[in-house]
C-alpha cells in the first residue's frame, strides 16, 4: 500500500500522525488484552490464577488515615500525623503547645 504523502499539507500530515499513533496504541492494547485473557483462561483450566503462576501480588488499598490533630483556630483543618507536618501544627508547637493539646 503506497500513499503519496507529498500532496498533503503539514497540518494534514500532523493530524494523520496523531490518528496513526492513537490507532497503534489501541491495536497494541487490544492485542495485549486478548493475550492476557487467553493466559487467564489457560491458568484457570490448570486450576490456578494467573497471579499465582506469575507471582504477582495484588496491591492492597490503604484506607484513609484517621485524623489525630486539629487546628486550634479551625477545627475542620485536621492532620493524621502522617507525612509532612502542616504549618498550623508547626506554628502551634513553636507557640508552646504540645501535640497532646492539639490532639482530637
Residue 77: which residues within 8 A CB-CB, separation 6 or more?
70, 71, 86, 88
32-47 pLDDT per residue, tens: 999 999 999 999 999 9
- Model's pTM, two decimal places? 0.46
| pLDDT > 70? residue 95 | yes
With a pLDDT cut of 70, the percent of the chain lying above it is 97
Amino acid at each position: 500500500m503506497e500513499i503519496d504523502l507529498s500532496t498533503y499539507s503539514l497540518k494534514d500530515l500532523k493530524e494523520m500522525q496523531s490518528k496513526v499513533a492513537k490507532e497503534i496504541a489501541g491495536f497494541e492494547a487490544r492485542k495485549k488484552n486478548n493475550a492476557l485473557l487467553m493466559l487467564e483462561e489457560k491458568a484457570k483450566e490448570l486450576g490456578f490464577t494467573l497471579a499465582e503462576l506469575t507471582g504477582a501480588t495484588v496491591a492492597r488499598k490503604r484506607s484513609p488515615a484517621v485524623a489525630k490533630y486539629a487546628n486550634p483556630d479551625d477545627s475542620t483543618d485536621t492532620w493524621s500525623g502522617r507525612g509532612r507536618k502542616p504549618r498550623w501544627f508547626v506554628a502551634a508547637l513553636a507557640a508552646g503547645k504540645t501535640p497532646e493539646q492539639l490532639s482530637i
